[in-house]
Chain A
């Protein structure tokens, strides 16, 4: 890890009218670190993720991102063109529902290649070669490259979405319940794959999940949210093995023991 955080968040707040989305969120994310945000539904996890990824405009606080060139930029004041460029080069966003993150009407190859074309690659053979390489890395057979995502199973769609996001070698990936709605064996394979990719590529990840097992497997650090605020944070093992807040204790003790 280098000596500067890739993302610095201070006093982030978002309200929906009179209702609180999230408030008083401050943390640093370091290069190569995986941060899990856990909490029950309605606790503000997704609002936080959307604010961080600039899909939602925050109402207060600041998010400072360390660009590739080392400069530190406040995302709130970054022009939209630059922000979009960042989102399709330096960042990835993996949605819970793959249909939200994929272009369902075009083939798997085009889904993976879209980011390359968006940043100016105009060589069909090269784009296709890269797409094939990425499909194999997420364990999708090469002969499915011209099939659309509609012909794919839920697990394959999710892996395709991951490939589509990682093709431009991003440094920061946001994940919103990436294993939600998948059966456990598919979940396990996907988690295994994501763990390998995160380690190999040195990705920084912010993953939102309500599944503590996913958090334990993937993340280095955990933030527990309740009613829009962070109530506890710490190393994953510490939080899960020695929860301090009553709510975190409840959350941890709610995992059914097999």
Chain B
């Protein structure tokens, strides 16, 4: 198929304008879920249709795109979305966090600190943080509108009552700019502290649920907690088995059928940079 038959970045201009309007509204009300008319994309729901549409609406010919899936640049989803935009937008792609201007991510925030001018686009499966507590969307919208968030703490209370601590490890709810409670997408709570006061622009796209929300640069993002059970992130006993990094998020890799396993960086770019001594590293 000839890529030239596509409009730049696949979506037609009217659709991109519609998405940009939703993004602008989302930026004006940080953490608020803005409905948008999500299009059918040439990929199944759950593979990042929301993130791809947001990326398509914000990317320009001069941008450099990085796509990660659970921190890795070389997984199927990341490789195909990168290839998709190379084909339909002709943009340059990279695996280095520092070189990218637009980073589409599924379930991680890169270890290397983001800087001003960068855009982080999250793929979001379920944008509503109250979904599993209150199934009625009509009711959750009213709850957001009236800032009626007692229920969110009921969930955390239950965690402590049953597990002795807040057991939620990913998609950990946050409050944005002191107002809206937001689902940060299923990133590990290890990444939550990277969201607050980030110099980069953070956009969230949920394709199936047709919602866009955003955290503007330098916005306070606070993880919900109790005074006597403060928010804390996961810790790892050992450093990365490949690059020796500490204070990074590690994946467990099973090596054989006899219980052999190793813990390695989830962020493959950061791990490789550290081992080869090239590029920027944290």
Bound Cα distance A198, B28 (Å):
49
6 closest A-B pairs (Cβ-Cβ)?
A118-B150, A117-B153, A124-B226, A117-B150, A81-B146, A123-B227
Bound Cα distance A42, B50 (Å):
50
The answer, yes or no, to whether A125 is at the interface (CB within 8 Å) is: yes
* A109-B161, A122-B226, A124-B226 known; A114-B154 Cβ under 8 A: yes
The answer, yes or no, to whether A103 is at the interface (CB within 8 Å) is: yes
Contact surface of B with A, Cβ cutoff 8 Å: 142, 146-151, 153-155, 157-158, 160-162, 225-229
B57 to chain A minimum Cβ distance, whole angstroms, is 34
For window 112-136 of chain A, which residues contact chain B by CB distance below 8 Å? Answer: 113-115, 117-119, 122-125, 127-128
Interface pair A119/B150, CB less than 8 Å apart: yes
The answer, yes or no, to whether A84 is at the interface (CB within 8 Å) is: yes
Interface pair B228/A123, CB less than 8 Å apart: yes
* Besides A107-B158, A122-B227, 9 other A-B contacts (C-beta < 8 A): A80-B142, A103-B154, A106-B155, A107-B161, A109-B161, A110-B161, A113-B154, A123-B228, A145-B161
Residues of A within 8 A of B150 (CB): 88, 114-115, 117-119
* A124-B229, A125-B228, A146-B162 known; A84-B157 Cβ under 8 A: no
A-B residue pairs in contact (CB < 8 Å), sample of 16: A84-B148, A88-B150, A106-B157, A107-B158, A107-B162, A110-B154, A110-B161, A114-B154, A115-B150, A117-B157, A118-B151, A123-B227, A123-B228, A124-B157, A124-B228, A127-B157
Bound Cα distance A226, B159 (Å):
49
Residues of B within 8 A of A88 (CB): 150
| Inter-chain CB contacts under 8 Å: number | 56
B62 to chain A minimum Cβ distance, whole angstroms, is 46
Interface pair A146/B161, CB less than 8 Å apart: yes
Bound Cα distance A117, B148 (Å):
10
Bound Cα distance A115, B160 (Å):
17
Bound Cα distance A81, B155 (Å):
22
Bound Cα distance A113, B160 (Å):
13
B181 to chain A minimum Cβ distance, whole angstroms, is 13
A111 to chain B minimum Cβ distance, whole angstroms, is 8
Residues of A within 8 A of B153 (CB): 117, 122
Interface pair A123/B226, CB less than 8 Å apart: yes
Interface pair A106/B229, CB less than 8 Å apart: no
Residues of B within 8 A of A80 (CB): 142, 146
B143 to chain A minimum Cβ distance, whole angstroms, is 9
Interface pair A114/B151, CB less than 8 Å apart: yes
Bound Cα distance A84, B155 (Å):
20
Residues of A within 8 A of B155 (CB): 106
* A81-B146, A84-B146, A122-B153 known; A110-B158 Cβ under 8 A: yes
For window 75-105 of chain A, which residues contact chain B by CB distance below 8 Å? Answer: 80-81, 84, 88, 103
Closest to A80 in B: B146
Closest to B151 in A: A114
Residues of A within 8 A of B162 (CB): 107, 146
B2 to chain A minimum Cβ distance, whole angstroms, is 54
A137 to chain B minimum Cβ distance, whole angstroms, is 20
B9 to chain A minimum Cβ distance, whole angstroms, is 41
Closest to B142 in A: A80
Residues of A within 8 A of B157 (CB): 106, 109-110, 113, 117, 124, 127
Closest to B132 in A: A105
Residues of A within 8 A of B160 (CB): 124
Q: Out of A110, A113, A118, A123, which one reaches B148, CB within 8 Å?
A: A118
* A107-B161, A109-B161, A124-B160 known; A117-B228 Cβ under 8 A: no
Bound Cα distance A124, B160 (Å):
8
Residues of B within 8 A of A107 (CB): 158, 161-162
Interface pair A117/B154, CB less than 8 Å apart: yes
A148 to chain B minimum Cβ distance, whole angstroms, is 10
A202 to chain B minimum Cβ distance, whole angstroms, is 26
A110 to chain B minimum Cβ distance, whole angstroms, is 5
Residues of B within 8 A of A81 (CB): 146-147
Bound Cα distance A18, B140 (Å):
32
B138 to chain A minimum Cβ distance, whole angstroms, is 13
Residues of B within 8 A of A109 (CB): 157, 161
Residues of A within 8 A of B228 (CB): 123-125
Bound Cα distance A119, B150 (Å):
7
Residues of B within 8 A of A110 (CB): 154, 157-158, 161
Closest to B153 in A: A117
Q: Out of B147, B149, B158, which one reaches A106, CB within 8 Å?
A: B158
Bound Cα distance A113, B151 (Å):
10
